[in-house]
Amino acid sequence: MTAPASHVDPFDLVIFGGTGDLAVRKLLPALYHRYADGQIQPGSRLIGVARDALSDADYHVRVRDAVIKSLGSDLPEETLHGFLHLISYHALDARKDAGWDAFAAAMHASPERVCVFYLATSPEIFVPICERLREHGLNHGRARVVVEKPIGRDLKSATAINDALGRCFAEQQTFRIDHYLGKETVQNLVALRFGNALFEPLWNAEHIDHVQITVAETIGVEWRAGFYDGAGALRDMVQNHLLQLLCLVAMEPPASLAPDAIRDEKLKVLRALKPIDESNASQCSVRGQYRAGASNGGAVPGYLEEIGRPESRTETFVALKAELRNWRWAGVPFYLRTGKRLPERVSEIVITFRAIPHSIFGESAGQISPNKLVLRLQPDEGVKLWLMNKYPGPGGLRLRRVALDMSFAEAFGVRNPDAYERLLMDVVRGNPTLFMRRDEVEAAWAWADPILAAWEAGQDAPKGYTAGTWGPSAAVALIERDGRTWHEDAT
């Protein structure tokens, strides 16, 4: 079971790229869950759009297969049939006129409804699609457009895309999605900080030694090779996912949960980031590229062999030491790390508190380690608080660090909805809190661009690391020369 779902009136949702990987793996299973939980009402319309020449029946077969592959074969047949009944298909090419008049006529049939256009496509056709929607009058006041990251590949291109989107849809109609912001643990970070008296008084440089944010994947580039080789880990992950997590950790308490109250505070964090450029990139950044090794129990090729481009200098791993120039966080480093072909699939935020100022325990008690607050985003969402405790027994006072461990699934006895489930329904409700505002996107690029420029100017190839390891040795040196080490779950 899941938590009770809030009511949503019937709506229309159009997925451009409706046969693509994002739609098949994430969006359609998420929509099925929302329907099965009663949040998507009968009469709503879910419309797949792509260039493939498919009938509604053909598309239903694809959707059915996608949902069963993602969620299992034991789904209630009546529920699955009802879900498929909401779905139709239109064949369209974003850059051609054919089919658009018929599509627009179908969409205008319910002008009173909220209509969501989800662009699950490659970024280069975001603008052509939006321009077609405007030309056919589909950008009316109850319409919303959802665009996936990355928005651009640098500040200049992001600004151009945002300008073009702004000519078609108002800012309040534009939802720039980062699915990490829909994860339960990210939501819970706000509740943890601002719903309890315990942590917020300690949430500053006086009590926190450093913060680590890790997003690790065991997979390689797989089907994304064409896109990924033109982007790399910094554009694909750091500029959006990791910086958004950093913002939620570091932001000041907002005045309320109003969407712009939270986004205003995140923007302040982005603007407070200390620049990383040619003057300090070699000390504050590491980029790597995986070589042949082992992953998930089998041998895997290196990145260059996988993509078939031996000259590629694209990074598949990034480690950064970021700092904020403000009173709350002055002197507290934020270590960011992400990469492909790493040993574990894990996303987590680790808050390491300062060591106690004086120990009253003798050497026989053992080492006293700093407290850590660990927020695990995946694969098992939850929170751990590492504390020093006495080891049980009469053999003297011996200390050991143990974790107070809360799994969301176990604590609440409900299924944690996928991030896309929450975010899709937030778009329908018109709630932009968990989406990036234009100025956030551009502030993030303004910080990332000098790092990319420094790497380009340096002409150094990414440092190699064996697939199945935690990245190049330089990433270990990045944190250990500060007297710290990367977090492992048992430490």
Show which residues are catalytic.
241
CB 47 within 8 A of CB 87: yes
Distance separating alpha carbons of residues 142 and 135, to the nearest angstrom? 16
DSSP assignment of 14-25 = EEETTTSHHIII
What the block records as the tokens of 155 is 């500040």
Gap between the Cα atoms of 235 and 233, Å rounded: 6
Q: For residues 419-458, b (16+ Cβ closer than 10 Å) or e, as one string?
A: bbbbbbbbbbeeebebbbbbbbbbbbbbbbbbbbebbeee
Yes or no: say if 90 and 106 are a contact pair by the CB < 8 Å rule: yes
DSSP 380: S
- For residues 170 and 430, is the Cβ–Cβ distance under 8 A? no
Termini Cα distance of the chain: 34
β-strand pairing of 399-407 with 298-300? unpaired
Cβ-proximal residues to 29 (8 Å cutoff; 6+ apart), any chain: 66, 67, 70, 71, 418
